[in-house]
Chains A and B, each alone.
Chain A
């Protein structure tokens, strides 16, 4: 297990280096000077060149990249010219905000997915099963930003149940009930697709395991239903569910950007979106790295949990 952990940990490094190269090249490919966000357009090319030089943006690309990686290795994510702050200080609160949203979304997705999937499996072939499956199909294929706007329109504007934007009310001091109230709609938007996929997997896994011989044998032995479920069924359905949940969390973190932009949720996805618009190289790199790291790490964690749950998983 120790060697497995070490091997997987080391494998993260080339992935992250690849991300920095890709993002660096992509942002440089975008048209427009990287200082336009701060100087505007009524400025002469000579002045733009001077300001670029002031920020070291006139250096060759490989020099800029090498300098960035040098700072990164010492734990410095660089300076954001559009936010006038160290990238770390801009992204730290954003990461926390995304963690709140993604974490809540994941909990909702897992709960809804398990409840929906198990309910569908227990009532396989019935209208309940068909209803749940259809709902999951619609919800699972709807684009997150579209779903977010629909939720705002119906639950916020029409029914006036929840706020439409932001993380806290701009009036008064931030508090927990206010946060939870603002969290509902974005968490639902974020949870929808993963919930649908988890439900599908949960349903399939449950149907397969419930029909297995060892379950029949356990029932035949006279074990109570609850014991059969907890001791035999649950443990065997969890493995594929944990795998898919881990994968979904990775996609959830990446997909949260759309939801954050629509709801104005000040998370890392929102910061990434704004940094691209502003051509802020270091902020874009920093946000991309964090998202990439989160994606890879979460998948790694899911594999680890799976290995612990099911000793048959090959870890060599």
Chain B
């Protein structure tokens, strides 16, 4: 018969034994790197992926025609280097680009890469005109590619290893844009894999040419890739990479501290100093992603440039960056992305001057007895965001001093981005946008009047700026391009104040002391093929 006391004591003893026994996980004979992802993977079709976080996985398995050297932390912008194209030529008027495809490259499934394969890939996401889609044209992928595909007039295979792209207009940055677009970057996927698994099936059975090949995906848990021994370039240093998905940052940091994770991106700002104090490495670097406030220029209050100037001068970016987000961000002044070729780190936006801001508001007819209410939808989290809630609170506090009552409406990520495609509506005056690319073309996308409303969310329209942007993005002369972008910055940021650049992301990324050769470049993602583990 059960003796209650003996049963309880036995159970407790068993529990203590269980807890204190030396637990040994089966020692891995191979080198496995474990990396956290702060997003959910929607599959591995390289043509459909649309976030910085997911690029870190994709670029282990897939390659573009031309890539950037992300093993150099100092190169600003990162240098273009050959990938599947061993060399390329741009015509003097920048309307034609010829790619020479590297010979002898094989996909993970053994099929070869040549110009026909590259052409097939282009036509999967681009069509010459309405009704001219190739059989492999994939609607779900075509949307993201529009950042570069809208500029393509025609594509022709010249010979087995040469392909030529004809552009609708001069586009010197086309080669960089092909790779550095946040959505729809042009990676080369295996046509044989699409034939075998179907358009949708590629997402679960990715086949590329990268230094790693796909092994396993447990949705919501992990993605496993292993070194591809048939890779055309230098072999990867580790045998396997396991990517673990996290939506809870506290759990991600806890897992890192326990040694369950080797590299974690997007370290919450308040953890950076603590991790460094405890002997972990935390890298930071200027990346293209930034937070800029888009102003609704159709709003009757914001139509007054004095109000916009006042807002720009009332937001204390330096304090926000240095005190609130120490080591996670720095003050932004330019609407040209950091890390892009025309970026000028010396450019300065309107200085913080609270008294002048108040004077401007009074001049515009506002004051303590006539305050104005504005609304700002704010993402609680999401790709590229940096501590969105504290930043929103800080901006709210700053603006309250100049008679603006800011109502912050917190939305989860998809609720937030669902607002974007229609542009800012009358119920929202300010939009804190987390975005940036390592190309000057990005600035054209967010400010050109032709890009209203789905990337020019604030309805900005200035013919002079349109002209400057068209010229800046079509001249192959970098010095001239920089000068033109400087003019754009001056008009947009300091005169029209159509947007208020707030913060530049420093992309804090923590890694274990035994992780070697990790590099955080001037880009929104990093590479892992050179990373090694020395325990």
Contacts and interface: CB of A to CB of B under 8 A. Distances in A.
Contacts of B25: 169, 171-172, 175, 177-178, 181
9 contacts: A43-B454, A54-B140, A94-B220, A170-B34, A171-B34, A171-B242, A178-B26, A277-B413, A279-B414
Interface of A: 30-33, 35-45, 47-48, 50-51, 54, 82-85, 90, 93-94, 111, 115, 118-119, 122, 149, 152-153, 156-157, 160-161, 163-167, 169-173, 175, 177-178, 180-181, 184, 226-227, 229-230, 261-264, 266, 270-271, 273-274, 277-279
Given A40-B144, A43-B144, A94-B220, A156 B247 contact: no
Contact of A40 (B4, B18, B51, B247): B51
B17 interface: no
A163 B242 CA distance: 17
B144 A39 contact: yes
Nearest to A161: B19
Interface residues on B, range: 35 or more
B19 A42 contact: no
A157 B11 contact: no
Interface stretch (B68-76, B103-111, B251-259, B289-297): B251-259
B436 interface: no
Interface stretch (B115-123, B346-354, B365-373, B419-427): B419-427
A43 B201 CA distance: 23
Contacts of B143: 39-40, 43-44, 47-48, 50-51
Interface in B190-212: 200-201, 203-204
Contact of A266 (B147, B220, B445): B220
Contacts of B255: 163-166, 264
A166 to B, nearest CB: 7
A54 B415 contact: no
A166 B244 contact: yes
Nearest to B198: A84
Given A84-B203, A261-B247, A266-B221, A42 B147 contact: yes
B455 interface: yes
A37 B219 contact: no
A152 B42 contact: no
A271 B19 CA distance: 30
A51 B141 CA distance: 9
A3 to B, nearest CB: 36
Given A41-B420, A54-B139, A163-B258, A274 B146 contact: no
B287 interface: no
Q: Which 8 A-B pairs have the closest CB atoms?
A: A40-B50, A32-B418, A266-B221, A84-B203, A43-B143, A47-B143, A226-B1, A41-B417
A164 B252 CA distance: 9
Interface in B46-64: 48, 50-51
Contact of A149 (B201, B250, B413, B415): B250
B48 A166 contact: no
Contacts of B147: 42
Contacts of A37: 40, 42, 414
A160 B22 CA distance: 12
Given A39-B140, A165-B244, A278-B42, A172 B222 contact: no
A164 B144 CA distance: 37
Given A157-B258, A178-B25, A264 B146 contact: no
B219 A42 contact: no
Nearest to B445: A42
A160 B411 CA distance: 36
Given A169-B260, A226-B3, 13 more contacts: A40-B417, A83-B219, A94-B220, A119-B8, A122-B4, A152-B250, A153-B254, A170-B32, A180-B18, A184-B18, A261-B247, A264-B246, A264-B251
Nearest to B412: A277
A264 B258 contact: no
Contact of A170 (B43, B139, B242): B242
B221 A264 contact: yes
A33 B418 contact: yes
Contacts of B4: 118, 122
Contact of A41 (B11, B248, B251, B421): B421
A205 to B, nearest CB: 15
Contact of A42 (B183, B221, B248): B183
B203 A44 contact: no
B248 to A, nearest CB: 6
- The listed residue with most B CB atoms (<10 A of its CB), out of A153, A169, A271, is A169
Contacts of A263: 251
B40 A82 contact: yes
A165 B417 contact: no
A34 B351 CA distance: 42
Nearest to B45: A84
A115 B2 CA distance: 13
B181 to A, nearest CB: 8
A157 B221 contact: no
A26 B397 CA distance: 34
Nearest to A97: B221
A93 to B, nearest CB: 7
B96 interface: no
- The listed residue with most B CB atoms (<10 A of its CB), out of A94, A119, A164, A278, is A164
Given A157-B257, A266-B220, A274-B220, A43 B415 contact: no
B81 to A, nearest CB: 26
A48 B250 CA distance: 34
A264 B244 contact: yes
A172 B147 CA distance: 42
B246 A38 contact: no
Contact of B411 (A31, A111, A152, A157): A31
Contact of A264 (B245, B413, B418): B245
